[in-house]
Amino acid sequence: MKDGASPAAGTPGTEPTALRIGVLGPMEVRERGESRTPSAPMARRALAVLLIHANRLVTTSALIEELWEDEPPRLARKTVQTYVYQLRRALQSASGPSDRLETCPNGYRINLLVDELDLREFERRVTQARRVLGKGDALNVVATLRSALALWRGDPFAGLEAGPVLAARITQISEARISALELRIEAELQLGRHRSLLGELRQLTAAHPVHEEFTAQLMRAAYRADQRSMALDAFSRLRRNLVEDLGIDPSERLQKLQWDMLNETLEPDQPAARAEPVVLTPPVAVPAQSEPAPLAPAAPGPAAAFTAPPAPRHRPPAQLELETADFTGRLVELARLEELAQPAAGARSAPRIVTVLGGAGAGKTALAVHAAHRLRELFSDGQLYARLHDDEDRPVRPAGVLRALLRDLGHPVVDLPDETEELGRIFRNWSAERRLLVLLDDATSADQVAPLLPGGPGSTVLVTSRVRLPGLPGPAAVELGPMETDEAAELFASLAGRHRVGADSAVARQVVRLTGNLPLAVRAAGEKLAARPMWSVTDLAARLAEEDHRIAQLRTGSFDVLARLASACARLDQIAYEALTLLSAAGGEPFTIARAATLLGVDAWSAEMLV
């Protein structure tokens, strides 16, 4: 960033803050133009972890694991304190001590305004652009996204060694930049700037040779600019790259686009939807014995590899998450869930609702997705899926979920209202006569779920949640606790490798008991052993037996027990969080409500409500 200024300035009419932190490129910290970037590499890494969780608590143990993973030094906590001291000095204002870096119980938090961190400012502007796009103001969308993309100076956190959490976040940030680029180009295509986009799109397709969206945009821009051969060549290159690199063909959407160009039937304002839309009107009936449509003659040129007409556009939506290939156990809960989720028979006026309840890592989503795949044939009009927390673990507003669902179902985004009530009415009207299976994952409240319910009695809604959802109309519930030890041991063996467990089945049972029979922790233990061919089951059990280091062992790949539990704690309100902290610090012995009241300094009734 230039001295004295920043593209991440505050909103017009407000006084910009003196602090500027940039991570959309090499990480840098400036205050009033003066560089305050920490020089020590490990302190910079610690700052990076705090920044990706800005304004939220980062536990000391999470910092230790991110900095050293499975091999922390003996005085890791003291070393983290040293890094925090270095960061405080870097962030200290010339006018006095800085309160940016706050010490909290069990960790630290960096407090920043939106315009002080370029990443948050980028996200704010992209969100603003998406809202404006829904109102059809393409010019404003382009201007807003150009300003957002101008904040980038290179790869996020460039030159910084990243632990697993930071590496995953860097991937998400890079993907957000690609999405913003796609959205900006789409808005410019809607403005008719086809010819001026050709150079940029050719560069983007060269840099991202298997990225379908950029190729689709290049094809549309070239076709509208009377460069039909360029459009078809772009499709041929994509197909060749996909086949050579991934062994797959282009999606039906791209094949449809090529077909329309070959036959000169491309619609004037064809949208760049990410998935084949399903129209919001009843499907057109097709005679059972109808003859297949004849193939159109292939057009000359290298891009004529795909000349068959596309699949019918009116197929039912199929949005379920991929099923867990190694799903194991939960036979009783699965049978109960399938029984409760059967389509309604008889006089009902509302959809059937089934909630799957359980704590963090209990396997709610895996069970619900597994059951949904087994039930999908009973719901002839399709399956819908929505995750109700975003990548930052914040609850998603029902209006945003409804807009995404209606967009995927083929409703033009520009025609959708902003109000949740109106969006819900449109969805209920569309779904009233349909038989749908709707999976709403990780709900936070009944108020979040209620607007997302379909309109007719023939549908079933599966809702997963960590909390009970009083207020929903007539829900049934399946509650998940720890797995049975035999089931957990079977899951562990399937992940670690049955040959690795062998005759050590008794030790394997000890391993899963040390994980608390929690499915997420069992998976983490199995993945850990699979990734350590030099370990035996006994070695893993010995490491898990050390309680102080157990959580570090249960962190591998996407199975991060600490991160999941930390996110559960972060969802608590301040009073509940403080109560949890005090009760946890009191030791692992069972306690009565009377003892809890003493520890919390409240009366017995208040203590019972908190517990």
The whole-number pLDDT of residue 104 equals 85
Question: Quick one: which of 202, 198, 224, 222 has its CA closest to 211?
Answer: 202
Looking at 244, 276, 308, the residue that finishes a domain is: 276
Question: Quick one: which of 167, 175, 171 has its CA closest to 560?
Answer: 167
pLDDT tens per residue across span 191-230? 889 999 999 999 999 999 989 999 999 999 999 888 888 9
Q: Is residue 1 part of a domain?
A: yes
Based on the fold, state whether residues 467 and 493 are members of the same structural domain.
Answer: no
Q: Is residue 204 part of a domain?
A: yes
| Higher local confidence (pLDDT), 435 or 410 | 435
Question: Which parts of 515-573 fold into alpha helices (H)?
Answer: 519-530, 537-545, 547-553, 561-570
Q: Is residue 262 part of a domain?
A: yes
Asked whether 115 and 16 are in contact (CB, 8 A), the reply is yes
Looking at 420, 454, 480, the residue that finishes a domain is: 480
116 contacts: CB under 8 Å, gap ≥ 6: 8, 17, 19, 20, 21
Q: Could you count the other beta carbons within 10 Å of the beta carbon of residue 320?
A: 17
Question: Which parts of 341-438 fold into alpha helices (H)?
Answer: 364-375, 398-408, 420-431
User: What gap in Å lies between CA 36 and CA 189, rounded to an integer?
Assistant: 42
Beta-sheet pairing, 34-35 with 101-104: unpaired
- For the chain, the distance separating the N- and C-terminal CA atoms, rounded to the nearest angstrom, is 49
pLDDT confidence of 313, banded at 50, 70, 90?
very low
Question: Quick one: which of 418, 416, 477, 409 has its CA closest to 443?
Answer: 477
pLDDT confidence of 460, banded at 50, 70, 90?
very high
73 three-state secondary structure:
coil
Based on the fold, state whether residues 525 and 601 are members of the same structural domain.
Answer: no
Average pLDDT over residues 175-201: 91
* Range of weakest confidence among 113-117, 245-249, 421-425, 447-451: 245-249
User: What gap in Å lies between CA 388 and CA 404, rounded to an integer?
Assistant: 12
* Range of weakest confidence among 7-21, 89-103, 137-151, 561-575: 7-21
The whole-number pLDDT of residue 464 equals 93
Q: CA-CA distances (angstroms) from residue 249 to 210, 294, 312? A: 10, 22, 18
Based on the fold, state whether residues 122 and 173 are members of the same structural domain.
Answer: yes
Q: Is the pLDDT of residue 384 over 90?
A: yes
Based on the fold, state whether residues 440 and 529 are members of the same structural domain.
Answer: no
Looking at 276, 291, 306, the residue that finishes a domain is: 276
The whole-number pLDDT of residue 524 equals 84
| Higher local confidence (pLDDT), 470 or 177 | 177
The whole-number pLDDT of residue 527 equals 81
| Higher local confidence (pLDDT), 281 or 109 | 109
Based on the fold, state whether residues 177 and 197 are members of the same structural domain.
Answer: no
CATH code, 418: 3.40.50.300
CATH code, 64: 1.10.10.10
pLDDT tens per residue across span 33-78? 788 888 888 999 999 999 999 888 888 888 998 888 878 888 888 8
* Range of weakest confidence among 40-44, 177-181, 496-500: 496-500
pLDDT tens per residue across span 345-382? 655 667 889 999 988 888 888 899 999 999 988 898 89
pLDDT confidence of 145, banded at 50, 70, 90?
very high
The whole-number pLDDT of residue 559 equals 66
Based on the fold, state whether residues 220 and 179 are members of the same structural domain.
Answer: no
Give percent of the chain above pLDDT 90. 21
The whole-number pLDDT of residue 345 equals 63
Question: Quick one: which of 158, 128, 120 has its CA closest to 144?
Answer: 128
Question: Total domain count for the chain?
Answer: 5
145 contacts: CB under 8 Å, gap ≥ 6: 125, 126, 129, 180, 183, 184, 187
Q: Is the pLDDT of residue 415 over 90?
A: no
Q: Is the pLDDT of residue 10 over 50?
A: no
Q: Is residue 169 part of a domain?
A: yes
* Range of weakest confidence among 21-25, 32-36, 457-461, 583-587: 583-587
Q: Is residue 559 part of a domain?
A: yes
Average pLDDT over residues 236-245: 87
Based on the fold, state whether residues 347 and 364 are members of the same structural domain.
Answer: yes
353 three-state secondary structure:
strand
pLDDT tens per residue across span 153-167? 999 999 888 888 888
Give percent of the chain above pLDDT 70. 85
pTM, full prediction: 0.49
Q: Is residue 521 part of a domain?
A: yes
Based on the fold, state whether residues 605 and 469 are members of the same structural domain.
Answer: no
Asked whether 41 and 555 are in contact (CB, 8 A), the reply is no
Based on the fold, state whether residues 534 and 605 are members of the same structural domain.
Answer: no
Q: Is residue 292 part of a domain?
A: no
- Supply the range of the domain harboring residue 419: 331-480
Joined together, the tokens standing for residue 36 give 């305050």
Based on the fold, state whether residues 31 and 175 are members of the same structural domain.
Answer: yes
User: What gap in Å lies between CA 92 and CA 96, rounded to an integer?
Assistant: 7
User: What gap in Å lies between CA 106 and CA 102, rounded to an integer?
Assistant: 11
Average pLDDT over residues 434-450: 92
Q: DSSP secondary structure string, 416-482? A: --S-HHHHHHHHHHHHTT---EEEEEEE--HHHHGGG--SSTT-EEEEEESS--TTSSS-EEEEE-S
The whole-number pLDDT of residue 40 equals 85
* Range of weakest confidence among 313-322, 390-399, 521-530: 313-322
How far out from the chain centre does Cα 22 lie? 24
| Higher local confidence (pLDDT), 63 or 6 | 63
Q: Is the pLDDT of residue 564 over 80?
A: no
The whole-number pLDDT of residue 146 equals 93
Q: Is the pLDDT of residue 15 over 60?
A: no
Based on the fold, state whether residues 127 and 183 are members of the same structural domain.
Answer: yes
Q: Is residue 361 part of a domain?
A: yes
Based on the fold, state whether residues 378 and 253 are members of the same structural domain.
Answer: no
- How is residue 290 annotated by DSSP? P
CATH code, 214: 1.25.40.10
Q: Is the pLDDT of residue 268 over 90?
A: no
Asked whether 441 and 388 are in contact (CB, 8 A), the reply is yes
pLDDT confidence of 476, banded at 50, 70, 90?
confident
| Higher local confidence (pLDDT), 14 or 142 | 142
